[in-house]
Chains A and B, each alone.
Chain A
């Protein structure tokens, strides 16, 4: 299986604090790579570097595309999602609460629709070419809503959905930009066991059906161990272990980092 993302010697310093220290790992196409570690280990910081919210102090991040590779350092801000097609969700859900579920999914397709609407000109003239494109966007939204079973609530405000549904909606909203790499920041936080199981199903579906690699930060071990193909363990910004889920469970270093060790 080919590499999708390779992170090389990534270092992020905030003043005197080194949040990520010389981190290297790979993520593969159509695989779920989990990043775990105790609180404050630097997991979310890795995501923020990958998705352009922070500019790393040092190191490189490459996204592989067939034979070529593009450096994520070159893109900042919205261009990560727009050009490099790296999508993410957030630890604290960031939907557009006062907009409808369908509108949330259409905003994710903003750039294609913007071109289709001739930067609003064709849209104002209400040309058929734009209306067709808009219908396609709605169909795509419906496709994803069918998968998470929220089609009947498409016209309700996203903020009115139950918590678990908001989580799922945020994930499919990120999928609407057709990402090559999907970064999920604690998608199972606050979910009950039944919802966690549904989440596993959704992530497995994305992994197998879509050309998308998934990078996952998670504390819920039932999710991590259930679906991860590869696990990277961080502590104090350093990688302390890397391997399959089973290897991770047995690793002495990981148990030490989570539970502490007898003096």
Chain B
């Protein structure tokens, strides 16, 4: 390495330090503390200088060793190897993953916390798979997907609390309602594509949330809906002491009462719902309508010139995607037993879109990996409180740097003329 290069990398590191200072200065350096009457700012310049120093040093070392290059090749090699494994052995991978998911609740280290995280990840996987139909297959960037999640949750909650119907009746109804809203959103945005579509869907998501807050008579406004019936195991409730004339789950199966029973049941419920979503998507992708979705994503004008009706094609994508969002919403409502508009903010939509995009548009396995990666990492760093969002952002940056097209970007044709390649 020549002197010139060293000076160059030194300059580069100083510039990195400048950026670090601009970021850490206000975020870390100025700490607000409440003393008696009001808020006071306690500067922490020591920590800032330490962090900035670390950044400069780190950058300088990276530049010196030109480690960046090897690092990138290492990572992309690793990830491409990984995608080769998941592509080639797709079936084995899927079966192993499903088997693992099935035995997961009974593994020795699985406790309540793990189960909660697993249920959350599965909910996001299901939402990701639902959105994958709209974004991944039909190529319609929907930033308001949480609206359908909310419609599903609220329809479930309202139907269940008003009529007292069981989960298995309310679930399809909630899905239908969500699908209806999907079509409702679909109509005005038929002509829009790309950025414009994204903005309108984003607005739609907010409209639904604001209606939920303000329509007090029906939705109970910001107070939310409480007392949503818990799911029962085919009529057997999960209760310590059942009501008169009822048998509860643990009595029927002669088990000791445990709150875990209900958690495990919820876990299997969302697992089954998610797998149904996946199965349905994999099937419909190979049907004419699925191919038309993908063709629409590739080139709408060419679609029209071939006689494909873009209106119907888009609306079915919106409706079916929304339906699965509605199913996930119902599950969310019955799991929480309480819902309020707060649960359906834009950040949820953003996370779901992130899962689909980072997973690799249209890839079902990619959605699973991205959900585990993003939600799992955010959970792992829960102790860091608000800083855990840095971990979330970091995870996104990592994926985008090393796999700009998403974790699994390979698309398999829906039909083959010559059979599988050996």
Which residues from chain A sit less than 8 Å from chain B, CB to CB? 51-53, 77-82, 87-90, 94-100, 102-103, 106-108, 110-111, 113-114, 116-117, 119-120, 123-124, 134, 138, 141-142, 151-152, 154-155, 173-174, 177
Contacts and interface: CB of A to CB of B under 8 A. Distances in A.
Interface string B395-422: 0000000000000000101111110010
Interface in B283-304: 283-284, 287-289, 291-292, 294-295, 298-299, 301-304
B413 A107 contact: no
Contact of B417 (A82, A89, A138): A138
B44 to A, nearest CB: 51
Q: With a 10 A CB-CB cut-off, give which of B287, B292, B418 has the most chain A CB atoms.
A: B287
A153 B299 CA distance: 21
Given A98-B298, A113-B288, A120-B287, A103 B306 contact: no
B307 A142 contact: no
Contact of A102 (B292, B294, B299, B415): B415
A79 B312 CA distance: 13
B208 to A, nearest CB: 27
B307 A99 contact: no
A138 B415 contact: yes
Given A77-B304, A90-B302, A155 B292 contact: no
B309 A107 contact: no
Contacts of A117: 287-289
Interface in B95-129: none
Contacts of B162: none
A81 B305 contact: yes
Contact of A103 (B309, B415, B418): B415
A147 to B, nearest CB: 15
B53 interface: no
Given A124-B280, A152-B418, 10 more contacts: A51-B305, A94-B302, A94-B305, A96-B298, A102-B416, A103-B294, A107-B292, A117-B288, A138-B417, A173-B306
Contacts of B29: none
A119 B413 CA distance: 21
22 contacts: A77-B304, A81-B307, A94-B305, A96-B302, A99-B291, A99-B294, A102-B413, A102-B417, A103-B413, A103-B414, A106-B415, A110-B288, A114-B292, A117-B287, A120-B289, A123-B287, A123-B288, A134-B415, A151-B417, A152-B418, A174-B306, A177-B307
B292 A81 contact: no
Contacts of B411: 98
B337 interface: no
B190 to A, nearest CB: 11
A107 B291 contact: yes
Nearest to B286: A123
B308 interface: yes
A138 B298 CA distance: 21
A96 B309 contact: no
Contact of A95 (B291, B299, B421): B299
B415 A110 contact: no
Contacts of A78: 303-310
Contacts, number: 124
A53 B299 CA distance: 15
B414 A107 contact: no
A61 B179 CA distance: 41
Contacts of A119: 289
Interface residues of B, number: 30
B132 to A, nearest CB: 15
Given A81-B306, A90-B302, A107-B306, A99 B413 contact: yes
A124 B320 CA distance: 14
Contact of A111 (B302, B307, B414): B307
Contacts of A87: 305-306
A154 B288 CA distance: 18
B135 to A, nearest CB: 15
A258 B310 CA distance: 40
A116 B302 CA distance: 22
Contacts of A100: 413, 415-416
Q: With a 10 A CB-CB cut-off, give which of A78, A94, A97, A114 has the most chain B CB atoms.
A: A78
Nearest to B289: A120
Interface in B254-297: 280, 283-284, 287-289, 291-292, 294-295
B313 to A, nearest CB: 9
A110 B308 contact: yes
Contacts of A102: 413, 415-417
A82 B307 contact: yes
Nearest to A116: B288
Nearest to A133: B288
A155 B412 CA distance: 9
Contacts of B301: 53, 90, 94
B303 A107 contact: yes
Contacts of B283: 123-124
B29 to A, nearest CB: 48
A23 B410 CA distance: 49
Contacts of B299: 94-96
A177 B306 contact: yes
B321 to A, nearest CB: 15
B417 A155 contact: yes
A172 to B, nearest CB: 12
Contacts of B309: 78, 82
Nearest to A111: B307
B284 A106 contact: no
B289 A114 contact: yes
A154 B418 contact: yes
A80 B303 CA distance: 12
Nearest to A83: B307
Q: What 4 pairs across the A-B complex have the smallest Cβ distances?
A: A81-B307, A82-B307, A96-B298, A100-B413
A262 B392 CA distance: 72
A8 B418 CA distance: 48
A99 B304 contact: no
A52 B414 CA distance: 30
